Amino acid sequence: MMKRVIGVLLLALPIVAVAADEDWQLFKRMTDAGRQQAFSGTYLHQMSGMLETFHIVRGTQGGVVVERRVALDGTPREIVRNGESLTCYAPDKKSLTAAKVSAMRLFPALMSDDIADISQSYTLRRLGTDRVAQRDCTWLEVRSRDQQRYTERFCADQTSALPLKMMTLTPHNEVVEQYTFTDVELGAPHDRSQLKPRFHLSSQLRGPASAPQADSTTPRVDVTGMPAGFRLVRSVQRSLPAHGTQPVRHMVFSDGLVMLSLFVEPVPADMPAALRRVQGMNLHGAINLATNSQGDQMLTLVGDMPESTLVSLVKTLHISGR
């Protein structure tokens, strides 16, 4: 009897492996579609008791993906992506600030373009099928192995793999925010003028990929204590208007799903002791922030991870430079 059970289990293992591989292939298709699929549609963004509505149009120009999203309610604002460049547009400075906040997470392109190592930190499973914006879709759940990061659920369109709905959940399965298409039409827009911004006041948040990502003349900074799976994808040092001439090091880490920014700057001499202690706060939806001083340096972490995780992390990171 035992030999028969073992034999059945051994026969089932290849089937399970094939199913898991198919799930990861679907996840990869969904990631690509989320960043590249041409379409036009309207989606809802729900978070913290708030509801926003955006219209998005995406096509290509000269082989480069171009998209424009417009807020349909609340403060007027636009966000335009041209390849790897990201620019906010608005009629006034207050609205421009709101546009920068909205640009923190850009559904449906919420995942990194490099998900090769994501299985180190996450498990993936298929949950079943659903219907969103009158289109059939398949639910995928990406859950953190360490239970310190958010769980993400995506419903991928069964035709294009475009994410039609996304839910971000805490380790206790509480919904933090969600995005849902109410209508979507696949294919590039017929009217190219839909890709052009209407407002003139602008602020570029991210330049083209060809722009220098690091300055080899600045001191090297080493960071230890990052959670498993995170790797450095960008490091620059610059002076920011609010910091005078003091340089600020900005490093971006990714585990393939989460983007985590670390800012390292000198602690201002006049900063009260109370502000040097560990602090955390929510910025927008699933985006949180945590700060802590380490010697004469102030560390600030910003990213789509639970606030409690960032607070614990900013206390244990070790920064060294040479």
Distance CA 207, CA 209 (A): 7
Rounded alpha-carbon distances, angstroms, from residue 242 to 6, 113, 212, 230, 285: 66, 32, 23, 29, 25
For the beta carbon of residue 68, count every other beta carbon within 10 angstroms.
Answer: 23
CATH number of the domain bearing residue 250: 3.30.200.100
DSSP class of residue 172 equals: T
Whether 226 and 190 share a structural domain = no
pLDDT at 16: 44
Structural domain contains residue 182: yes
Structural domain contains residue 211: no
Of 171, 206, 241, which one is at a domain's C-terminal end? 206
Of 206, 233, 250, which one is at a domain's C-terminal end? 206
Percent of the chain with pLDDT over 90: 57
Structural domain contains residue 50: yes
pLDDT at 218: 56
What mean pLDDT comes out for the span 56-79? 94
Distance CA 210, CA 303 (A): 24
Structural domain contains residue 243: yes
Place of tokens 């040097």: 276
Q: Is the pLDDT of residue 214 over 90?
A: no
Whether 185 and 53 share a structural domain = yes
pLDDT at 322: 46
Structural domain contains residue 117: yes
Say if residue 140 is exposed, middle or buried (CB neighbours under 10 Å; 0-12, 13-18, 19+). buried
pLDDT at 9: 46
Whether 239 and 143 share a structural domain = no
Structural domain contains residue 131: yes
| Per-residue pLDDT tens digits for 14-54 | 544 455 789 999 999 999 999 999 999 999 999 988 999 99
Kindly give, in sequence order, each residue whose CB lies less than 8 Å from that of residue 64, ignoring residues fewer than 6 positions away: 82, 83
pLDDT at 234: 87
For the beta carbon of residue 185, count every other beta carbon within 10 angstroms.
Answer: 11
Q: What are phi and psi of 27, to 5 degrees?
A: -60, -40
Whether 201 and 279 share a structural domain = no
Distance CA 185, CA 109 (A): 17
Please tell me which residue, 77 or 118, carries the higher pLDDT value.
77
Q: Is the pLDDT of residue 228 over 90?
A: no
Total domains present in the chain: 2
Taking all residues of the chain, what is their mean pLDDT, rounded to a whole number? Answer: 86
Which pLDDT band, with edges at 50, 70 and 90, does 319 fall under? confident
Cα 166 from chain centroid (whole Å): 12
Whether 58 and 178 share a structural domain = yes
| Closest to 76 in 3D by CA, of 243, 253, 201 | 201
Distance CA 94, CA 98 (A): 7
Whether 15 and 139 share a structural domain = yes
Whether 117 and 264 share a structural domain = no
Whether 198 and 305 share a structural domain = no
pLDDT at 6: 56
Please tell me which residue, 111 or 189, carries the higher pLDDT value.
189
Q: Residue 286's domain spans which residues?
A: 221-321
Of 206, 241, 256, which one is at a domain's C-terminal end? 206
| Per-residue pLDDT tens digits for 251-301 | 999 888 888 999 998 887 777 666 678 889 999 889 999 999 888 888 999
Q: Is the pLDDT of residue 241 over 70?
A: no
Structural domain contains residue 216: no
Structural domain contains residue 214: no
CATH number of the domain bearing residue 63: 2.50.20.10
Whether 191 and 302 share a structural domain = no
DSSP string, 96-152: HHHHHHHTTS-TT--S-S--TTGGGTEEEEEEEEEEETTEEEEEEEEEESSSSS-EE
| Per-residue pLDDT tens digits for 109-130 | 887 666 667 888 899 999 999 9
Which pLDDT band, with edges at 50, 70 and 90, does 224 fall under? confident
Whether 198 and 227 share a structural domain = no
Whether 98 and 40 share a structural domain = yes
Whether 172 and 53 share a structural domain = yes
